[in-house]
A = this chain, B = another copy of it.
Amino acid sequence: MSAQPLVPSEHRSGALLDHLARRMRLRSESVLAPLGLRPRHLVALTVLRDGDGISQQALASTLEMDSTNIVGLLNDLEAKQLIERRRSPEDRRRHVVELTEDGAKRLNEAECALAGAENEVLGALEPADRERLYLLLRQAATGTTVICSTAIHEDETSSDTC
């Protein structure tokens, strides 16, 4: 076995993403349980926070989930009053999904609660790198560059008992 990597590996993030997401999800489950949330609820809420007031169809496509399964997901969230469905004025077939205040608050609480989990999973990264990672992930997820000032502004409003 000659140790001669003449063909070095491609730098694909897929598997790493998968791996880290799994590790994070495993921890998240137990942390989120007391809040009555599951990891996928959090994903939905996060998406809703970024693009508020979107149709269920749009949500389904962002989440890349079957729309029939979105229904159940939103039912959960609505039962807990974390989101609201209201009919669109333009097209009354459509439901516009919005984060309620409770929803935003709960999301924030959840994120705070996840600090420990993130520490475990992202322990090898120093705070600055974690923030860098966050910004990259967010940009990839939303397709928009996050301007620093915006991020700082968001910081103020969300300063809870973290």
Could you tell me the dominant secondary structure of chain A's interface residues? helix
**B5 and A131 contacting across the interface, CB-CB below 8 Å:** no
The answer to whether A108 touches B39, judged by C-beta atoms less than 8 angstroms apart, is: no
A162 touches B10 (CB 8 A): yes
Chain A interface, number of residues (Cβ within 8 angstroms): 78
When the two chains form their complex, are residues A133 and B125 in contact, meaning their CB atoms are under 8 A apart?
Answer: no
Q: A25-B18, A46-B15 are in contact. Are A139 and B131 (CB under 8 A)?
A: no
Beyond A19-B43, A19-B63, whether A5 also contacts B140 by CB under 8 A is no
Q: Tell me which of B8, B10, B40, B133 contacts A137 (CB under 8 A).
A: B133
Closest to A21 in B: B21
| Tally of this chain's copies | 2
Cβ of A70: which chain B residues have Cβ within 8 Å of it?
none
Interface centre among A5, A115, A131, A151, by most chain B C-beta atoms within 10 angstroms, is A5
28 A-B pairs, CB-CB below 8 angstroms? A4-B162, A5-B127, A7-B161, A8-B155, A8-B159, A8-B160, A9-B151, A10-B108, A10-B112, A10-B161, A10-B162, A11-B130, A12-B134, A14-B42, A14-B111, A14-B118, A16-B134, A16-B137, A16-B140, A16-B141, A17-B17, A18-B21, A18-B40, A19-B63, A20-B21, A26-B64, A121-B140, A124-B139
